[in-house]
A and B are shown apart, each in its own frame.
Chain A
Amino acid sequence: MKPSKNNADLLHKQYVHSLKREKRKVRLYQLLIFLLFFTSWEFSSKMKAIDPLLFSSPSKIIDLLFSKLHDGTLMENLSVTLIETIVGFILGTLLGTLLAAILWWSPMVSKVLDPYLVILNAMPKVALGPILIVGLGPGYASIISMGVIISIIITTIVVYTAFREVDSNFLKVLRIFGASRFQCFWEAILPASFPTIISTLKVNVGLSWVGVIVGEFLVSSKGLGYMITYGFQVFDFTLVWLALLVIAVFATVMYQIVAFIERKIVKE
């Protein structure tokens, strides 16, 4: 018995070791791609293999990053966009869930609204931008609304589907205990759909970035989206690239935070 157990231990150790090696290899290649990308960008821009006016170069972008950090304009624009996006996706998820709850509450309402949800979902929501801006004025309200409308309908549809898929026997248990419809919602429907709501949160982070950036394109006064349109207007593409890279970094960070929260909550 003993030797074979030792053998199993040994094999397990080897297996763990090979997993570690593989992971290190993956990380190494990822780093290589990163370095290769930026160095070849830098060099081809220096050698004028690509148009330096349009593509700028990493060194220029970093220079600009420091000067923008120094004069505070980057932080200002970044915080505006971050706040708009966070408020947008949280509101989009909450309002979408609320709408889904209303649909669940009244089967009649859900039947009546069904075709309208389909239309609204199919429609490209960013096209509503100009109307929102005129209606709500060029400011936070209209930009946040862009972030909200882009995610709210899809959230409603996904969460409502999750509500309806909750096993009706849980509701039977509650109704036998004399539970009201609200208690049924609160004790069974909502907690059973929590994983779905959290995962729509993850999708909505991405959607809200789109809505907010497009909103800032249109309003043109503050934010990373504004930095992009401004850079475009004055033909300063280094500024455009800087804004793009900052967006990429913060969109990823935000997505990872939500994914982390999801793992915490869904794992229980």
Chain B
Amino acid sequence: MSFLSVQNIKHSYFTKSTAVAALSDISLEVKEGEFVSFLGPSGCGKTTLLSIISGLIEPTEGRVLLEGQPISLADAKIGYMLQQDYLFPWKTIEENILLGLKLSKRLTEQSKSASLNLLRQIGLIGVETQLPKQLSGGMRQRVALVRTLATEPKLLMLDEPFSALDYQTKLKLEDLISATLKQFNKTAILVTHDISEAISMSDRVLLFSPGPGRLHKVFDIPDVIKNLTPFEARNHELFPEIFQTIWKELESFETFKK
């Protein structure tokens, strides 16, 4: 039995005049502790797939099992960081990161101090009483990560968490997130447009093709690269080769579409 099992998912969005097929027959498995990336061009249904895995939307067909159980929002086993930070602007940083615990009535002295510790570990010191607008984009993104991790989700999903950041901040955050997740042995899914990011951060890269979205190909990242930090991985001699392979694959269906 695998940790996360996505079985024959199909999804269409319905409007009055049309039905848009967003995903067609997607099946995949993720092992516990694994870090996988969903890579694919814009509009190939990556966000839709995450919404289905998290239980936010019901797929038209198919099912998702987490530890053998159908997923349900009420269990709150999944952490999902949206494409932007979506920190609540009227709540302080502390209120923001404790929100998940408060809603699931698990806010104790212990869980509170664990969350505040995590905030410090991730390099944010003395910001507890500040409001989100007083923080920079990279800091907010880190707060959003702490908020997601605070409830100790079994599965963590990140939807392009770095896309709005400058290159340097992005590289630093990649290392930080990668280290944090390894430390807690978290299973994670990262959605990205960026081939380098996918290779450097994950154990497996799942390439999706558009129109409607399907799983095109899976790339296993060699162990030597897996064990490096994302920054080191980018400088490894094998890196360009993997990049080229995935790039060619992306090209193939991009040109095919034209």
Contact = CB atoms under 8 A, between A and B. Distances in A.
A58 B86 CA distance: 59
B56 A172 contact: yes
A175 B73 CA distance: 7
Nearest to A183: B103
Top 3 A-B pairs, shortest CB-CB distance:
A178-B76, A177-B100, A177-B103
Nearest to A180: B103
A177 B74 contact: no
B80 interface: yes
Given A169-B84, A175-B73, A178-B73, A268 B104 contact: no
A174 B73 CA distance: 10
Contacts of A178: 73-76, 103-104
A81 B207 CA distance: 71
14 contacts: A169-B82, A172-B80, A173-B82, A173-B99, A174-B103, A175-B56, A176-B54, A177-B76, A177-B99, A178-B73, A178-B75, A178-B104, A179-B103, A188-B88
A191 B78 CA distance: 26
User: Main secondary structure on chain A at its contact with chain B?
Assistant: helix
B88 A170 contact: yes
A170 to B, nearest CB: 6
A176 B84 CA distance: 15
B90 interface: yes
A51 interface: no
Interface of B: 54, 56, 73-76, 78-80, 82, 84, 86, 88, 90, 99-100, 103-104, 131, 151
B39 to A, nearest CB: 23
A183 to B, nearest CB: 6
Interface of A: 167, 169-170, 172-179, 183, 187-188, 191-192, 194, 268
A183 B105 CA distance: 12
Contacts of A172: 56, 80, 82, 86
Contacts of B88: 170, 187-188, 191
A173 B86 contact: yes
Given A172-B82, A176-B73, 9 more contacts: A169-B84, A172-B56, A172-B80, A173-B82, A175-B56, A176-B76, A178-B76, A179-B103, A191-B88
Given A172-B56, A177-B151, A178-B75, A187 B82 contact: no
Given A169-B86, A187-B88, A176 B79 contact: yes
B80 A176 contact: yes
Given A177-B104, A179-B103, A170 B86 contact: yes
A187 B87 CA distance: 12
A179 B74 CA distance: 8
A178 B153 CA distance: 12
B86 A187 contact: no
A268 B132 CA distance: 13
A3 B54 CA distance: 62
A192 B88 CA distance: 9
A191 to B, nearest CB: 5
Candidate in A169, A174, A175, A177 with the most chain B CB atoms within 10 angstroms: A177
A21 B134 CA distance: 35
Given A187-B99, A187-B103, A268-B131, A176 B56 contact: yes
A95 to B, nearest CB: 24
A151 to B, nearest CB: 25
Contacts of B103: 174, 177-179, 183, 187
A176 B82 CA distance: 10
B136 to A, nearest CB: 19
A157 B75 CA distance: 36
